Structure 1
Amino acid sequence: MSERLSCSSCSESLHGCRYIQVEQKALCIRCYDHLYANTCHRCKQLIGHDQKELAHEDRSFHERCFRCFSCERSLANESFILQGDAVVCRDCYCSQFSSRCAACSQSVMPGSRMLEMEGSTWHEDCFLCRGCQKPIGGEAFIPVNDDVYCRPCYDKKVAPRCSYCRKAVTKGGVSCKEEVWHQECFVCSGCRAPLAGQSFPSQGDRPYCLRCFTNLYGEKCAGCNTPITGFGDGKYVSFEERRWHQPCFKCSRCSVSLVDSGFFPDRDQILCTDCYSDD
């Protein structure tokens, strides 16, 4: 007598019944569906052994349930896009979920080559240099207001020009009186010494180092005949049309300091009270 065939799970006789062999075990249809069938991601019902199953990533669907979440269109034979937990057709994705290219206003589809900047999105072919109108792609670019420029166009058309050499200033410039210079071009108009990073006086639009400015334009001390400057220890005494460094403001005869003291002018001289009294 042949051995009795029964379901390996529920022990129900399989004689004259359909069954499924799994890992050398015979299972009735009911037990097979219970143990091995996947659950449809949409309707949450089991996908029976005799039902067509569609899968995407780790999700399974009945063929009838694999539809656009928005328009209910079947996606069994169409391209689709996963939007959160839902699948949507391309048309619904474009109209409801996709970003819009800031240049052409068309949808930017997932997986397509695109660029993003400050919350806006472009197709790669739509992200153009404002100057040459060529796609920037992966090259460096400089934003200017609402436009972008490739580096060559920025240097040629937009970058400020050095007031000395007239070439583009792209980094590390010096600004003075609404004009710009390269650091290496910002030099004293007299001796050509570098001025970047230090205080400097100017005459008109021409910057000078302190030495050149005082030699050319500085007022001379009536005592030592050297320039009086406003930089560093530049305190001075003024009387009528003459100026003195504070250390130089002293009696013309006895050399006593006259700072904060009384004095008397005597033609080209200034005298302390004692020396004036001797006269």
Structure 2
Amino acid sequence: MFLTGPTHSATMSEAFDCAKCGESLYGRKYIQTDGGPHCVPCYDNTFANTCAECQQLIGHDSRELFYEDRHFHEGCFRCCRCQRSLADEPFTCQDNELLCNDCYCSAFSSQCSACGETVMPGSRKLEYGGQTWHEHCFLCTGCEQPLGSHSFVPDKGGHYCVPCYENKFAPRCARCSKTLTQGGVTYRDQPWHRECLVCTGCQTPLAGQQFTSRDDDPYCVACFGELFAPKCSSCKRPITGGTRVKKQGG
């Protein structure tokens, strides 16, 4: 704040000098400090900070901005790329350089693989396979619902929620037509749930057991022998053959 010293018409018997250079402040502007009055040049040279950008003193009549132990003239506090003033704008400091949000996003932010727009710093995003998506843009290829934090299965450039992937790609049981999500057995080159492959006669599970078939229907050895197998002329017991199923998917 400027003050003005008394004029020559005032009493000259009392000294009123600059505390730094000793020159009289009568009739001159001065700035009062704890160390006494200072003429304007001495005040600037003694107390003014140096601008981190232009390396000039920030005078008493300049608006001064302060950021991370650095002082700036208002006009020097600007984006290092587009030179936009940052005095009243949001900004980011990258590698000790000041950047407006637009320049920072253009240089350092990712582009959404779905919509092509910038993924703004601090916004929710998903990253997979070296690509980035806005959270709301990362959709199931099947049902087009956001995958968010849900499990998904990548396939041929698409991303599927588990239900859609199973409906589209998972093998289906030859008996119940429902998907096999794990395990299962193969019979006549078709996938079956282990619990679905049962004897047509007694409903005994056949997975891992020897069995045979008639008209494509599987039978355990005992049922087939009782129902269809020829009897031994000597012992009268059924003459049967067996097949062991192969496991599918472990």
TM-score by length of 2: 0.58
Q: Which residue of 1 aligns with 2:30?
A: 18
Alpha-carbon distance between aligned partners in 1 of 2:186 and 2:70, rounded to the nearest angstrom: 65
Q: Which residue of 1 aligns with 2:64?
A: 53
Change (3 A) 1:51 1:102: same
Tell me if the contact between 1:201 and 1:208 (Cα under 8 Å) persists in the aligned partners: no
Amino acid at match of 1:65: C
Q: Which residue of 1 aligns with 2:6?
A: none
- The question of 1:142 aligning with 2:153 is answered yes
Tell me if the contact between 2:210 and 2:242 (Cα under 8 Å) persists in the aligned partners: no
Alpha-carbon distance between aligned partners in 2 of 1:186 and 1:18, rounded to the nearest angstrom: 99
Q: Which has the higher contact order (CA 8 A, sep 6+)?
A: 2
Alpha-carbon distance between aligned partners in 1 of 2:175 and 2:243, rounded to the nearest angstrom: 27
Change (3 A) 1:229 1:65: same
Identity of aligned residues (%): 40
- The question of 1:102 aligning with 2:117 is answered no
**1:1-279 counterparts in 2 under 5 A?**
16=25, 18-19=30-31, 21=33, 28-33=43-48, 37=49, 40=52, 42-43=53-54, 47-56=58-67, 60-170=71-181, 172-174=182-184, 176=186, 179-182=190-193, 185=195, 187=197, 189=199, 192-193=204-205, 195=207
1:99 aligned counterpart, secondary structure: coil
Alpha-carbon distance between aligned partners in 1 of 2:242 and 2:177, rounded to the nearest angstrom: 32
The alpha-carbon deviation at position 136 of structure 1 amounts to 2.9
Alpha-carbon distance between aligned partners in 1 of 2:97 and 2:131, rounded to the nearest angstrom: 25
The alpha-carbon deviation at position 108 of structure 1 amounts to 1.5
Q: Which residue of 2 aligns with 1:245?
A: none
The Cα RMSD (Å) is 4.8
Tell me if the contact between 1:79 and 1:89 (Cα under 8 Å) persists in the aligned partners: yes
2:184 aligned counterpart, secondary structure: strand
Tell me if the contact between 1:214 and 1:228 (Cα under 8 Å) persists in the aligned partners: no
TM-score by length of 1: 0.53
Q: What runs of 5+ residues in structure 1 fail to find an aligned partner? A: 217-223, 232-279
Change (3 A) 1:146 1:88: same
Q: What runs of 5+ residues in structure 2 fail to find an aligned partner? A: 1-12, 227-234, 245-250
Aligned length in residues: 216
The alpha-carbon deviation at position 102 of structure 1 amounts to 0.6
Tell me if the contact between 2:112 and 2:132 (Cα under 8 Å) persists in the aligned partners: yes
Alpha-carbon distance between aligned partners in 2 of 1:113 and 1:69, rounded to the nearest angstrom: 27
